[in-house]
Amino acid sequence: MRIYKVKDYGEMSRKAANIISAQVILKPDCVLGLATGSTPVGTYRQLVEWYEKGDLDFSEVRTVNLDEYKGLPRENDQSYYYFMHENLFDKVNIKPENTNLPDGTKEDSEEECARYEALIRSMGGVDLQLLGLGHNGHIGFNEPAEDFAKETHCVDLTERTIEANKRFFASADDVPRQAYTMGIGTIMRAKKILLVVSGEDKAETVAKAFFGPVTPEVPASILQLHEDVTIVADEAALSKAPC
């Protein structure tokens, strides 16, 4: 596990974008696993900027997203489909047919999860998986639990996650209660993992996840067992870590 300690959110975003762009340049048809939420927005903004300068080419890149709310249509401005198009896909030359997310409108959870898991395997797996870190240690929508979920599944969101996400909706009542997410096993099969984290409000979680015991009660702690993990965190996020 490599940890890059950077000054602030801007530097975190540039460093993460550097790592992703290196992957794209090294393997133009790579499979990128992508994340949503506020933390990676700066990273996507930097990638778009480099694309606009002619430094990056996404024409052969394929993507799979970590998760999607269940029950939200793609055109809903809080769907992760909408988020990815708004922040990255519509601003670079990636082919629409090469972008993939779970389909939140599918009611049959088992069928949709099996389809998505098979899709990832058919692509040869993920070359580089981008992750954020939830306040309760979740990655994707893998919430604290008694064991690690192995494959793509439908999850009931915890009240803490609903509370954290309600700022994006008109009210907490509008936040979906379920989501489709890659499982911990799916994430761990990625060849490389890049986790970005920023802010003092994540400091305690960072300390537990990466300097404490590996436990499904802190889902991100499993990353300690992956052979190629890079964490890019700002000073505030690492303020309670013994490093």
- Annotate the chain with three-state secondary structure: CEEEEECCHHHHHHHHHHHHHHHHHHCCCCEEEECCCCCCHHHHHHHHHHHHCCCCCCCCCEEEECEEECCCCCCCCCCHHHHHHHHCHHHCCCCHHHEECCCCCCCCHHHHHHHHHHHHHHCCCCCEEEECCCCCCCECCECCCCCCCCCCEEEECCHHHHHHHHHHCCCHHHCCCEEEECCHHHHHCCCEEEEEECCHHHHHHHHHHHHCCCECCEHHHHHHHCCCEEEEEECCCCCCCCC
The single residue of 138, 142, 153, 165 carrying the catalytic annotation is: 138
The single residue of 76, 103, 136, 226 carrying the catalytic annotation is: 136
Paired tokens of 137: 């240690």
**Whole-number Å distance between alpha carbons of 105 and 72:** 6
**93 is a catalytic site residue:** no
The single residue of 65, 67, 112, 117 carrying the catalytic annotation is: 67
**Whole-number Å distance between alpha carbons of 142 and 216:** 9
**174 is a catalytic site residue:** no
Bin 124: left if φ > 0, else alpha if -120 < ψ < 50, else beta. Answer: left
Tokens 């907490």, located at residue? 172
The single residue of 68, 112, 117, 143 carrying the catalytic annotation is: 143
**201 is a catalytic site residue:** no
Q: Are 10 and 236 in contact (CB under 8 A)?
A: no
Domains in the chain, please, with CATH?
2-198+211-228 (3.40.50.1360)
pLDDT digits (tens), the chain, 243 positions: 999 999 999 999 999 999 999 999 999 999 999 999 999 999 999 999 999 999 999 999 999 999 999 999 999 999 999 999 999 999 999 999 999 999 999 999 999 999 999 999 999 999 999 999 999 999 999 999 899 989 999 999 888 778 887 888 888 888 889 999 999 999 999 999 999 999 999 999 999 999 999 999 999 999 999 999 999 999 999 999 986
Pairing of strands 178-181, 67-69: antiparallel
Length of the chain: 243
**67 is a catalytic site residue:** yes
Predicted model pTM: 0.94
**Whole-number Å distance between alpha carbons of 215 and 209:** 9
